[in-house]
Amino acid sequence: MQYRTFGKLDWKSSALGFGCMRLPTTDPQDRTTIDEDLATQMVRYAIDHGVNYIDTAYPYHNGESERFVGRVLQDGYREKVRLATKLPVWAVDAEDAVGRILNEQLEKLQTDHIDFYLFHALSRLRWETVEQFNLLAWAEKALADGRICHLGFSFHDNYDAFKIIVDATDLWSFCQIQYNFMDIENQAGTKGLRYAASKGLAVVIMEPILGGRLVNPPQPVQDIWGSAPVQRKPADWALQWLWNQPEVSVVLSGMSTMQHVTENVESASNSGVGTLTVEELAVVDRVRAKYEELCPIPCTKCEYCLPCTVDLKIPELFDILNRAAMYNKFAEAREHYARLSDAEKANACIQCRVCEEKCPQSIPISEWMLVVHDVLGAGKAFDACVLP
């Protein structure tokens, strides 16, 4: 296992961290049914092979992940790792709620302290909750009494919101961002990674392979990987690209099979800053460009089209279809779309075309809305559609 600098702390994290969000289950339809025997083998194998960062959260596996982690870290394993979990900021509705939640987490995790405690999934809107209920003042007391050792946050919003949160307090020791070779400009992006590191924060990476979307690429992308001077599996390419960057402290993987664990441990053992050649980095750039070429709607998410006359979230609808086409994940996209209300679906578009007058990319939005619903709502094959 390779170990990496963790911000300003006098401690090094393993290159690979174990994310306990996608543990194996005995019932695929019930996230609470963690396969205890298999999951225990997986987590302890990882720790036995050098992983020293274990990440969970209050809502993972519908609340059962923390309980499982508390059990799996018995028999001396708790002393071998640093443990991270997260406060569900959305569940805080009073100043005394946060203390109750932390005490519940400590009990579930069977520990008297959390090494790394995160405000979960912060955005500009959720930051208002942090301010409303004085959560930073509460965290300072929890740091002082030892129930938490280091404070951080996980993040899902844009760079401007990220910078505001990073700069808001000196209490932060670390942050957690979604980052991979396709998300260099999405959310915090490369700019956010480097800004946080410049402020002395350790940066924990989540979604390194985009929730599995980068594992089985379409043939045009696979052909590019096949032309590389060094042959790796797509997941290994994604991980090595991250570990190549000095600002990355630890990369979390939400592993759900023993094969994931063994392969990722081996990958981490072969990692290092600056280990990819210029030629190899150029291959990753070509892969990114090919994925983007497969993106059908040239939407930049500028949101100039908003507000929509009927309050549709146009960029989000386009993003669902774009990602389905880019990563050949139409079934997953249709499941996502099915969870939207009728008022949120693309066929609610009234074809007023007001948005098209404001779109700097001159996208025929109203026509694309018909395609979005045909593919995601009616199940029509994308390649059978007449595209605008």
Residues 185, 328 within the same domain: no
Sign of the alpha-carbon torsion through 213, 269, 279, 231: negative
In this structure, are 57 and 108 located in the same domain? yes
Of the candidate ranges 119-123, 129-133, 301-305, the one whose mean pLDDT is the lowest: 301-305
Percent of the chain clearing pLDDT 70 (strictly above): 100
Model pLDDT, residue 361: 83
pLDDT computed for residue 88 by the predictor: 95
Q: What is the pLDDT of residues 224-243, one digit of tens each?
A: 999 999 999 999 999 999 99
Instruction: Report the relative pairing of strands 12-14 and 16-19 from DSSP bridges.
Output: unpaired
Q: Please say if the pLDDT value at position 179 is more than 90.
A: yes
Query: How many angstroms separate the CA atoms of 351 and 38, rounded?
Result: 52
Residue 306 lies in a domain: no
| pLDDT tens string 361-380 | 889 999 999 999 999 999 99
Strand 16-19 relative to strand 202-206, pairing: unpaired
Residue 208 sits in the same domain as residue 258: yes
Q: 338 with 250, same domain?
A: no
Q: What is the mean pLDDT of residues 43-68?
A: 97
pTM of the model: 0.86
- Answer whether residue 348 is part of any domain: yes
- Angle of helix 278-293 relative to helix 314-327, nearest 10 degrees? 120
Residue 68, in any domain of the structure:
yes
Is residue 305 domain-resident? no
Domain boundary among 265, 285, 305: 285
Domain with residue 47: its CATH number is: 3.20.20.100
pLDDT at position 186 is: 87
Q: Do both 281 and 319 map to the same domain?
A: no
Considering the domain architecture, whether residues 238 and 322 belong to the same structural domain is answered as no
Residues 233 and 344 both lie in one domain:
no
Same domain, 109 and 211: yes
Rounded Cα distance between 279 and 282, Å, is 5
Assess whether 45 and 139 both reside in one domain: yes
Quote the domain boundaries for residue 353.
314-384
Helix (H, G, I), strand (E, B) or coil at 203: strand
Mean pLDDT, residues 260-273:
97
- Number of structural domains, the chain? 2
Q: Are residues 237 and 162 in the same domain?
A: yes
* Average pLDDT for 332-348: 96
Check residue 216 and give its pLDDT: 87
The answer to whether the bond into 220 is cis (omega within 30° of 0) is no
Residue 119 is assigned to a structural domain of this protein: yes
307 in any annotated domain: no
**Are 342 and 348 within 8 A, CB to CB?**
yes
Strands 16-19 and 53-55 turn out to be: parallel
